[in-house]
Structure 1
Amino acid sequence: MTIAIKPAAPEQSPEIAEMVGQLLAEIMSRIDVKAFNFDRNQTAERLRRFLADQKYLVFVAEDAGKPVGFIALYESYALYAEGAFGTIAELYVRPQYRSQGVGKKLIDRARELAAVKEWTRLEVTTPPLPQFERTLEFYGKEGFTITGGRKLKAGL
C-alpha cells in the first residue's frame, strides 16, 4: 500500500461526497440520532463551489489512484487564537484503511498547509463521546489537546 496525499480536484467532488455520506452515516449510527441531512449530489455540488471559491481546502488520500480518505479545512479567525487558524471540518478514512497511518498523513499535510498559511493553530471538534473515544485518542496522539466546551449549533 502506497498512500499519496493530493489536493482535491473539483472532479473528485462526487467521490469525496460519497465519503462524507459514509462519515455522517457512521456518526449517526453510533449515536442513534439523525443529526445530519445528507444528499450526495447536493454535497458534491457544494464541494465544487467551495473548492472553486477557495473557501475550503481538501486533501485526498489515495491508494493506487483510489480515494481512501480525506481531510477538509477552512481558515478561521479569532482574537483568542491570536489571528488566523485552521479548522478541520471533516476527516475521514475508509474503515479498511484505518490504523495504517492514513489519518496521520492527512493531519501531517494539514500541518504543512498551516505552516504555509501562518496559522496559529489547528482546531477540530470530535464526534460525540464516549462513542468516538477512539477518535479522541487519535487526535491526542497527533498532538491535539482538549480545550473544553462542546460544539453547539442553532438552525437559521
Structure 2
Amino acid sequence: MSLKIREGNLEDAELICELVANLLYELRGKPLNNDNLINISKELLKNKKQRYVAYLAFNGDKCLGVVTLSECASLYAQGAFGIIQELYIIPSARSQGIGNQLIKKIKEYGIKCGWDRIEVGAPDADKWDKTISFYKREGFRELGPRLRCNLI
C-alpha cells in the first residue's frame, strides 16, 4: 500500500464529514445530518485564528482515514495543548498502520505548535478495547473518564 497523509482543506470538508459521520454511526448507532456538519467543518478549517486541523490518509485516490485535532488551553497543562477530536479508519483498512501514521502526523503538528501534550477522549473500554489498546501503543495513558454536559 502506498499511503499518503496530507492536511485537509476546504475542498475536503465533505469527505471529512463523511468519515466522521461513519465514526459517529459506529459509536452511536444512528446517522447524522451531514449537511450541517459540512458547514461546521468548513468554518473550522478556514478559521486560522483557532488551531483546528484535519489530516487525511490516502491510498491512491481512496481516502482510508481521518484525524481531527484542535487546540485547547488549561492551567494543569501549563498552557496550550492538542485534543484529538475524531480519529476514524475505514473498516477494511484497519490494523494496517494507518492510525499510527495519522498519530505520527499530529504529534509532529503538536511539536510545531509548541504543545507538550495531546489528549484524546476514548470510547467505552468495555465495547472498544481495541481502540484503547491502540492509543496505549501510541504512547497515550489513561487519565480517567471524561464527562460531558449538553447545554442544548
Report the TM range for the smaller structure's normalisation: over 0.9
Cα separation, 1, equivalents of 2:151 and 2:85: 18
Aligned partner (choices 89, 93, 108) of residue 93 of structure 1: 89
Identical counterparts, % of pairs: 33
* 2:53 counterpart residue number: 57
Q: Secondary structure at the match of 2:6?
A: strand
Cα separation, 1, equivalents of 2:13 and 2:145: 32
* 2:133 counterpart residue number: 137
* 2:40 counterpart residue number: 46
Tell me how far 1:142 sits from its aligned partner.
Answer: 0.3
* 1:126 counterpart residue number: 122
Q: Secondary structure at the match of 1:19?
A: helix
Cα separation, 1, equivalents of 2:146 and 2:13: 30
* 1:111 counterpart residue number: 107
The Cα RMSD (Å) is: 1.3
How do 1:7-22 residues align onto structure 2 when only pairs under 5 Å count?
7-22=7-22
Tell me how far 1:112 sits from its aligned partner.
Answer: 0.2
Q: Could you tell me the TM-score, scaled by structure 1's length?
A: 0.91
What runs of 5+ residues in structure 1 fail to find an aligned partner?
A: none
Tell me how far 1:138 sits from its aligned partner.
Answer: 0.2
Tell me how far 1:85 sits from its aligned partner.
Answer: 0.3
Tell me how far 1:15 sits from its aligned partner.
Answer: 1.2
Tell me how far 1:38 sits from its aligned partner.
Answer: 2.0
Amino acid at match of 1:45: N
Q: Deviations over 1:101-140 (max 9, x none)?
A: 0000000000000110010200000112211111000000
Q: Secondary structure at the match of 1:73?
A: strand
Q: Secondary structure at the match of 1:131?
A: coil
Cα separation, 1, equivalents of 2:145 and 2:15: 33
What runs of 5+ residues in structure 2 fail to find an aligned partner?
A: none
Q: Could you tell me the TM-score, scaled by structure 2's length?
A: 0.94
Q: Contact between 1:6 and 1:59, CA under 8 Å: does it hold in 2?
A: yes
Tell me how far 1:145 sits from its aligned partner.
Answer: 0.3
Q: Secondary structure at the match of 2:101?
A: helix
Cα separation, 2, equivalents of 1:147 and 1:67: 32
